[in-house]
Amino acid sequence: MELLQTILITLFTLAILVSIHEYGHFWVARRCGIKVLRFSVGFGKPLYRWRDKLDTEYVIAAIPLGGYVKMLDEREGEVPAELRHMAFNNKPVGHRLATVAAGPLANFILAIIVYWFVFVAGVSGVAPIIDKVEAGSVAELAGLEAGQEIVAVDGEPTPTWEALHLQLLERIGDSGEIEFTVKYADSDLTYSSSATVDAWLAGEEVTDLMAGIGVELYRPKLIAQIDQVVAESPAAQAGFETGDIIVQADEQPIAEWGDWVEYVRERPQQAIQVQFLRAGQPLSAELTPARKIDEQGRAYGQVGMGVKWPEWPAELRRDYQYNAVSAFTASLNRTWDMSVFTLQSIKKMLMGLISPKNLSGPITIAKVASASANSGLTSYLSFLALLSVSLGVLNLLPIPVLDGGHILFGVVELIIGRPVSDRIQALGYQLGFVIVISMMMLALYNDISRL
């Protein structure tokens, strides 16, 4: 069921991004007088099709992993004399450039609109309070201490965990000083200090930026208190109830929920003697986890319990409300920042400052899409906007077969006054195809390696 949900959410997400991208091409092509033969969402065998009054065929195809807009073009077949003025290749270079650029532009517009909804709904986060500092780490060298709040990095405000992560992401692969501005909870005074880094996290697969600087941020302790018991599950059959607090398993102390989860997962179909508190009274029960199989074919235990999540202290919450105008400004800034960050990351990867191991493919995208959807509408919309920005930026790269490659040929044509020769374009498309396929294979390999 979980796998099916992940697949459906991923296909839905791709359908939105691809449809918007291709509609950008379609909309501008129509206004430039270019005849559109087909607008397809998906590839392969058509499942449903219809035509409009301008004889454009609309298709929903069987393989929902992309889409395309097919335009009339003499380079792809014979065109009747009366329609040659509507062929893509016969239009002025400005019209062709506008049509090609409209796809990525549509993705940026989608991101702005989605971010606007997110900001209007309100944005919440928690303050980055240092809980622990690792000895010999970047944080210790900078003099950071437990209990301090990181309020800025390199002069950029970091009021929430998300803001702190984004600011640190920009420093991956850099050398020089990272400046931290901090303050204590009971004071408004701020203190600045810095640490010198050399190719920070270059060549590494980055999974935890906080560990990269040697900091563990404060979070409320997640005790093993039950908030949900699934009907007819091992937990229900053993008599557990909402509110019970697990304190021992086979006489081993259970300090936090993670300890309990790990203990259960390692013991499928093995009886566990559980000591717990109910309304302060100590009780015990025998519990046998059910045997489940994960995506890699490994067996693990499951008992059918849900944890009671602790509330964040009010003083650590950061809630931001925007009106329609300020939300639009914020959405423009966020789209711009994400676009610049994507380009900087590509540049650093080409320079070897960011490991190609950080490149993610369809499996990672699917998992994150599903996780963000499970976290709520705002989380999913933020992820959708981020993907839309990434798609727009990547399509503008000057690689033949991508929109950016077509734009490159168009710009060269404007400069030299004639189209780039068919031979050079063909060689460019072959090279571009190899580059794109190689990157896709690398991303897929990284996905599989993470599994």
Q: Would strands 226-229 and 305-307 be described as parallel, antiparallel, or unpaired?
A: antiparallel
Chain centroid to CA 135: 32
Q: How far apart are CA 395 and CA 405, in angstroms?
A: 9
**β partners of residue 194:** 179
Instruction: Give the count of alpha carbons within 13 A of 386, CB side only.
Output: 13
Element (H, E) at 59: strand 57-71
The answer to whether the beta carbons of residues 368 and 383 sit under 8 Å apart is: yes
Check the CA dihedral 224-225-226-227 and report its sign. Answer: negative
Q: What angle do CA 427, 430, 432 make, to 5 degrees?
A: 105
For the chain, the distance separating the N- and C-terminal CA atoms, rounded to the nearest angstrom, is 19
Catalytic residue among 2, 22, 145, 241: 22
The amino acid at residue 10 is T
SS3 for 257-326 is HHHHHHHHHCCCCCCEEEEEEECCEEEEEEECCEEEECCCCCEEEECCEEECCCCCCHHHEEEECCCHHH
The DSSP H or E segment spanning 40 is strand 36-51
Which among 295, 447, 296, 441 has a CA at the least distance from the CA of 364? 447
Spatial distance between the Cα atoms of 22 and 110, rounded to a whole number of angstroms: 12
List all residues 6 or more positions away from 47 whose beta carbon is below 8 Å from its beta carbon: 60, 61, 62
For the question of residue 22 being annotated catalytic, the response is: yes
Q: Any idea of the CA torsion for 292, 295, 297, 299, to the nearest 10 degrees?
A: -30
* 8 A C-beta contact, residue 107 and residue 91: no
Residues in the chain: 451
Strands (E), 198-263: 215-217, 226-229, 245-249, 252-253
User: What are the φ and ψ backbone dihedral angles of 28, each rounded to 5 degrees?
Assistant: -75, -35
Q: What residue type is 82 in one-letter code?
A: E
State whether residue 399 is helix, strand or coil. coil
Q: Which residues are catalytic?
A: 22
